[in-house]
A and B are shown apart, each in its own frame.
Chain A
Amino acid sequence: MDLILPYLATLTIFFFVYNILTWGLNIQFGYAGVLDFTFITFVACGAYFSGVFALGPGQKSTGFEWILGLSWPFPIALVMGALAAGLLGIVIGLIAINRLRSDYMAIVTLATGTVIYGLVSNYTPLFDGFDGLAGLQTPFSQWLNINYNQFTYLWVGFCGVVMVICWFIAQRILNSPLGRTMRAIREDQEAAEAFGKDSVRVRLIAMSMGAVLAGVGGALLMGFIGAFNPAGWTSGETFVVWAALIVGGRGNNWGGVVGSFVVAVLVNEATRYIPPIPGNATLIPTVRNMLIGASLIAVLWLRPEGIIPEARRRFYQLPLLPGRRTPAEGVGSAGS
């Protein structure tokens, strides 16, 4: 019991965080069709910035150096991390979305992410290079006297609250006219422009809101682990989130939940705690990646729209003006 409960709590934290990440990518790709192949860069941005806002000042003499170091309370640092990621989303979006069509856009996001990765991991005054940030006190420890297991349970609750807020953000965008316009742009960008939609503006909103959720997820990881370095955000991590979204069902945030549970939690995180097999240390990580790839291929073959596909919006759910007759149910949806 002493081992199982903290283990489950840890997995729950990863589940909650990956839900947020998958919804973030869903806003970018599932709603607006933006091919963001550097999603993990926004996660890292949120982690780093929440870190440097919450950590004390770094000092070169001690071997730890980073910008800011303001020792702010973690919840505020989390908001700052999310904002920083949102800003980075606009910057990368301006580079990638303006004037480029989707396939080139994907390459540019990947290239930009690689540039940022190289910069952050080599330029130590920023976030201490390859060593990364470390030594973050467990959040809330300045107010509460708790041990590490208790902190884990507390963090489950905190992540849960943050996740619910993120759910509302993602759902409200999806169900608004803004979300509908994003989906129209995803379906046919030129036609949407021919109807007066500013596709650059709308996709920039999608890019930055997705990045904000990525940043929130990154900040939650930072607060939980207390450290963050370039080994934690290699480009392969981006594709775990992508796999989760594709498997679960793009365009549907419930699909994101299923995908993050199956791919990110069951396959990617739960297997990290299996002890390595003697004599073959890389077997489990290799099998893990194969499983993610296989689940992706299986879904694309058998159910290309994902386990829970995008919901069809039925007209009689739309509120009509009072006095307007509602067409009888059953008249609609000829076939499906």
Chain B
Amino acid sequence: MPEADAFLRVEHLSHSFGGFKAVDDCTFEIPKGSISALIGPNGAGKSTAVGLIAGALKVQSGRVYFNGQDVTRLPAYKMARRGLLRTYQVSREFPLLTVMENLLVPPPGQRGESLWNALFRPSVGRRQDAALASRAVDVLETYGLLPLRDEYAGNLSGGEKRLLELARAEMADPKFMLLDEPMAGINPALIARLDGHIRRLRDQAGITFLLVEHNLDVVERICDQVVVMASGRTLAEGSMAELRQNPEVVRAYLGGGLDERAVG
């Protein structure tokens, strides 16, 4: 039975590619309004779990509950329409769309997307676009991307693309964001900006976050709860401080380096 405050709940999720069990009986839950992290060694099945939750991969066995409903078999676009957005390990901007256009794609309920309105009532789409563009200006300003609004998204730097991922996700008004390594390959100053944005979105828009993250400093700083995966399984759940005391977690993932730091 999913608990009342569990916004996302994964039950006995398993998935294999050919003979390889990438995710093997994985169970955890994410409370509403939290910033949680999913950590674990490379190959632990974190990205596969993200794909299964987001509907990009077909669930082979197990269940996924989101917002109190069974969403196990929903395809990706329906998950997004229910308010669960995911980002990818590698930035997946639309390269030949401008930064501005990248922000205008995500908002749900665009009436200009119907063929009838596109052909016979173009003003419907134009009017809605005007409102969306105004909002996008504000969002771009928040992320410091406004000067780049007419640039092709494919020409942005790696860090700018990371900011763009978050900015365009914000445009979709999600309830839940599933970020797959949002800090991968960016400098410390930008990491600070990104986690500031994540906290702002949680505090102001009430968005729940689940981050797949290898940078444990970031996890320690912003995450309320951490789920550890190893070999496709959930190994432990709890706060970072609790997990540091867990010998199994230390052996599987945290390893020597962190052990020292935990001691020192």
Interface on A for B, CB 8 Å cutoff? 169, 172-173, 175-181, 183-184, 187-188, 190-199, 202, 205, 209, 251, 310, 312-315, 318-321, 324, 327, 331-336
Q: Output the nearest chain A residue to B152 by Cβ-Cβ distance.
A: A312
- Does A175 contact B122, Cβ atoms closer than 8 Å? yes
Given contacts A172-B122, A181-B113, A310-B96, 7 further A-B contacts (CB under 8 A): A173-B118, A177-B128, A178-B113, A194-B88, A195-B168, A331-B147, A332-B147
Q: Note all chain B residues with C-beta closer than 8 A to A179.
A: 118
- Does B112 contact A177, Cβ atoms closer than 8 Å? yes
Q: Note all chain B residues with C-beta closer than 8 A to A334.
A: 147-148, 151
Q: Can you list the 3 inter-chain pairs with the closest CB atoms, starting with the nearest? A: A177-B112, A196-B80, A176-B118
Chosen A-B contacts, 15 in total, with CB atoms closer than 8 Å, are A173-B118, A177-B112, A178-B115, A181-B113, A183-B94, A194-B77, A195-B168, A196-B106, A197-B105, A314-B150, A315-B100, A315-B150, A321-B134, A332-B149, A336-B151
Q: Mark B88-115, 1 if CB is under 8 A from A, else 0.
A: 1000111111101110111010111111
A209 to chain B minimum Cβ distance, whole angstroms, is: 7
Q: Given the known A-B contacts A183-B94, A196-B106, A335-B151, are A177 and B100 also in contact in the complex, defined by CB atoms under 8 Å?
A: no
Q: Note all chain B residues with C-beta closer than 8 A to A187.
A: 94-97
Q: Output the nearest chain A residue to B115 by Cβ-Cβ distance.
A: A205
Q: Output the nearest chain B residue to A192 by Cβ-Cβ distance.
A: B105
Tally of contact residues, B, Cβ under 8 A = 55
Rounded to whole angstroms, the CA-CA distance of A318 and B131 in the bound complex is 10
- Does B76 contact A184, Cβ atoms closer than 8 Å? no
Q: Output the nearest chain A residue to B116 by Cβ-Cβ distance.
A: A178
A20 to chain B minimum Cβ distance, whole angstroms, is: 16
Taking a contact as CB atoms closer than 8 A, the residue among B111, B118, B134 that contacts A172 in the complex is B118
Q: Note all chain A residues with C-beta closer than 8 A to B113.
A: 176-178, 181, 202
A179 to chain B minimum Cβ distance, whole angstroms, is: 7
Rounded to whole angstroms, the CA-CA distance of A323 and B80 in the bound complex is 32
Q: Note all chain B residues with C-beta closer than 8 A to A324.
A: 134, 137
Q: Given the known A-B contacts A177-B118, A178-B115, A335-B151, are A312 and B98 also in contact in the complex, defined by CB atoms under 8 Å?
A: yes
Rounded to whole angstroms, the CA-CA distance of A167 and B75 in the bound complex is 35
Q: Note all chain A residues with C-beta closer than 8 A to B111.
A: 177
Rounded to whole angstroms, the CA-CA distance of A191 and B152 in the bound complex is 16
What is the number of contacts between chain A and chain B, taking CB atoms within 8 Å?
153
Q: Note all chain A residues with C-beta closer than 8 A to B249.
A: none
B129 at the A/B interface (Cβ < 8 Å)?
yes
Taking a contact as CB atoms closer than 8 A, the residue among B76, B115, B126, B129 that contacts A194 in the complex is B76
Interface on B for A, CB 8 Å cutoff? 54, 56, 75-78, 80-81, 85-88, 92-98, 100-102, 104-106, 108, 110-115, 117-119, 122, 125-126, 128-131, 133-134, 137, 146-152, 155, 168, 172
A162 to chain B minimum Cβ distance, whole angstroms, is: 16
- Does B126 contact A319, Cβ atoms closer than 8 Å? yes
Rounded to whole angstroms, the CA-CA distance of A194 and B113 in the bound complex is 17
- Does A196 contact B172, Cβ atoms closer than 8 Å? yes
Q: Note all chain A residues with C-beta closer than 8 A to B110.
A: 177, 181
Q: Output the nearest chain B residue to A181 by Cβ-Cβ distance.
A: B113
- Does A321 contact B118, Cβ atoms closer than 8 Å? no
Taking a contact as CB atoms closer than 8 A, the residue among B56, B112, B172 that contacts A195 in the complex is B172
Rounded to whole angstroms, the CA-CA distance of A335 and B150 in the bound complex is 10
Q: Given the known A-B contacts A178-B114, A195-B106, are A318 and B96 also in contact in the complex, defined by CB atoms under 8 Å?
A: no
- Does A321 contact B149, Cβ atoms closer than 8 Å? no
- Does B104 contact A177, Cβ atoms closer than 8 Å? yes
Q: Note all chain A residues with C-beta closer than 8 A to B75.
A: 193
- Does A318 contact B152, Cβ atoms closer than 8 Å? no
Taking a contact as CB atoms closer than 8 A, the residue among B80, B87, B114, B151 that contacts A193 in the complex is B80
- Does B119 contact A177, Cβ atoms closer than 8 Å? no
Interface-centre pick from B93, B95, B113 (highest chain A CB count, 10 A)? B113
Q: Note all chain B residues with C-beta closer than 8 A to A312.
A: 98, 150, 152
Q: Output the nearest chain A residue to B110 by Cβ-Cβ distance.
A: A177
- Does B105 contact A180, Cβ atoms closer than 8 Å? yes
